[in-house]
Amino acid sequence: MDNKQINIGIIGCGRIAQTRHIPEYASNKNANILGYFDFNKQRAEEIAKEYGGKVYESVEDMLSDNDIDAVSVCVTNSAHASISIQALNAGKNVLCEKPMATSLEDSEAMVLAAKKNHKLLMIDQNQRFAKAHVRAKELLDKDTIGKVLTFKSTFGHGGPETWSVDGGPNTWFFDKNKSKYGSIFDLGVHKIDLVQYLLDSTVNNVSARLTTLDKRNSTGNLIGVDDNAISIYELNNGIIGTVTSSWTYYGEEDNSTIIYGSKGIMKIYDDPTYSIVVIKKNGERILYDIDQIQTNDNQTKSGVMDEFINSLIEKRTPKSDAESVINSMRAVFASIESNETGKRVSISEKK
């Protein structure tokens, strides 16, 4: 692999590719987008015209191109595993969108394929890279709020129908065949991954409720996937808390995480002005003005594509490699099982 230029192929040219992957690769001097594939060929052609590169006739066509070093997999949830494994088996490094896969078995098969082929597999768990989350982890590691006891993390907005490239009630996010699950896959997986990253522990027990309260398809019926998911997570280090994901926050987006410790409270992306607010036991407030959280309407550089390219050049494990994301997927699927059975699910008993 050339030490300076990593040749990239984009598989799936929908909104996430258009707003994140493609412009972020384009702005990285060590990345070179060779080409694109999308089932909507016209969409791929329009992007190739804007950014340069060729349009491939099929996924196989792209993966058989020896000049391509790595691919971004930006397709519907249901195809993440099959295409990522296909790419890894073709000798390509892979950056896959979240959720990693639509089953735990598929997630584990992806990790095995990466190991077998000695290739990198990174998952776009972009909340690990948000500047305030990086700083929050440093502050937590320094015992800023003492021993962490509980937490609540929320990710809610008005729904993907305003965000998806094919928007409205027919968005693929609402189609169970393509998305498998709703808000927990779209939003919840981010916060489940973030909590484990910040608190340096993994989820052990889960009690969850997934429900569809408001979203309807074009025929006026409630959609077949969850528009709200609320879970109680117990971590291996004894910390307990909640993660809420919602597509029915119609007033404003909420992407906050609040952590309660023995010496105080840390609020991350909760205050519109200060990205971290620490409130000590004695009432002292410490304010950190670091950055603003990513929202659907306010897209700034995520840092994910830069990390992927840098890890390839430096021949090291990326910050959100698939093996580290497996624990998040275990927690997601335990939530789904808890909702289906109405029982608390223990992850350690399953391993």
pLDDT at position 2? 45
Q: What is the 3-state secondary structure (H, E, C) of 131-147?
A: HHHHHHHHHHHCCCCCC
8 Å CB contact between 26 and 51: yes
- What are the residue boundaries of the structural domains of the chain, listed by start? 6-126+305-319, 127-301+329-346
Q: pLDDT under 50 in the chain at which residues?
A: 1-2, 296, 299
pLDDT at position 1? 47
Task: Tell me how crowded residue 54 is: count the other CB atoms within 10 A of its CB.
Answer: 17
pLDDT at position 12? 97
CA 273 to chain centre: 25
CATH fold label, 127-301+329-346: Dihydrodipicolinate Reductase; domain 2 (3.30.360)
Considering the domain 6-126+305-319, what is its CATH architecture? Answer: 3-Layer(aba) Sandwich (3.40)
8 Å CB contact between 17 and 72: yes
pLDDT digits (tens, 9 = 90+) for 161-207: 876 666 688 888 999 999 999 999 999 999 999 999 999 999 999 99
* Closest residue by Cα to residue 186 from 195, 201, 175: 175
pLDDT at position 351? 57
Percent of the chain with pLDDT over 70: 94
Angle between helices 322-341 and 189-199 (to 10 degrees): 120
Task: Tell me how crowded residue 43 is: count the other CB atoms within 10 A of its CB.
Answer: 19
Contacts of 187 by beta carbon, 8 Å cutoff, 6+ apart? 155, 156, 157, 245, 246, 247
Task: Tell me how crowded residue 205 is: count the other CB atoms within 10 A of its CB.
Answer: 19
> 70-73 and 345-346: which strand pairing?
unpaired
Exposed/middle/buried for residue 134 (C-beta within 10 Å: 0-12, 13-18, 19+): middle
DSSP 174: G
pLDDT at position 350? 65
pLDDT at position 296? 46
